[in-house]
Amino acid sequence: MRDPATAAPQCGAHNNKRIEDRSGELCFQEGSQRHRGWYSRGYLPHFDSPHVIQHITYRLADSLPRAVLERMQAEAAASAHDDEKRRAELRRRIETYLDAGHGSCVLQEPEVGACVADTWHRFDGERYRLLEWVVMPNHCHVLIEPLEGIPLGKIVLSWKNYTARFINEFKGRTGVQRSQSQEGSQVWHREYWDRFIRDQRHFDAVRNYIVMNPVNAGLAIEPETWPWSSAKDRTEAGTT
């Protein structure tokens, strides 16, 4: 695996068009027609451009009930009047809730956790550079640098589609009960969360967050003891 410490965080590449997101942060939009820049499907905004390092989080459909999310949104809105602070507060509440291990938590099953990790590695170096990752019991964090030609949304969709089939087969084979959430029988929540890396400080902070997530959630004593993580991979490979 490539050492993520050698990655050079970018907010776009040269010859790109400078744009500004809703929070006022500057980034760049690639001229390629295959990458969409800023877009939304009605819930979360996404930014799609090659060679812009992205922190991606996606979760199981039953990990956060709609009623709980709506309550968090109301509480976050009441706690801050600034849009950026409100989004940060909502994100903090969601992450705390997910780390508490709600829902079926099927990702903690060894076969399932390994499948998710193997899916990320499958196109490492072809569609993206895989820089840091962890599979938590009900959600995933991935740090990648998308390469030219494959939009970020399609990358995430391919991960979800393959692993959803595997998880449904696993549940049928092992007798693990399917959760009865408002999302029905859907494995993954429809949306995902992404944040482009602004600079080296942000890059280091996100790496640390991903590596330490199992420890901070009380699931591991040391990062490298969590079985489905880039920290464990590096330890086994003898790299840091």
What is the distance between the alpha carbons of residues 32 and 52, in angstroms, rounded to a whole number? 14
Contact present, 107 and 137 (Cβ < 8 Å): yes
Q: Which of 15 and 40 is assigned the larger pLDDT?
A: 40
Burial state string for 171-189 with b = 16 or more CB within 10 A and e = fewer than 16: beeeeeeebebebeeebbb
2 has pLDDT over 50: no
Q: Which CATH number fits domain 4-63+101-237: 1.10.10.1200, 3.30.70.1290, 1.10.760.10, 3.40.50.300?
A: 3.30.70.1290
Domain boundaries, the chain: 4-63+101-237
Give CA separation, 180 vs 111, 183, 185, 209, in Å.
Answer: 22, 8, 7, 31
What is the distance between the alpha carbons of residues 206 and 200, in angstroms, rounded to a whole number? 10
The closest alpha carbon to 228, from 132, 127, 100, 91, belongs to: 132
Q: What is the pLDDT of residues 184-209, one digit of tens each?
A: 458 999 888 988 898 999 999 999 99
Highest mean pLDDT (candidates 3-7, 31-35, 154-158, 168-172): 154-158
Mean pLDDT, rounded, for 7-32: 35
178 has pLDDT over 80: no
What is the distance between the alpha carbons of residues 79 and 184, in angstroms, rounded to a whole number? 32
Both tokens of 212, joined, read 């330490």
Mean pLDDT, rounded, for 34-60: 72
pLDDT given at position 3: 45
Q: What is the pLDDT of residues 81-139, one digit of tens each?
A: 778 788 889 999 999 999 999 999 999 999 999 999 999 999 999 999 999 999 999 99
pLDDT, mean over the chain: 81
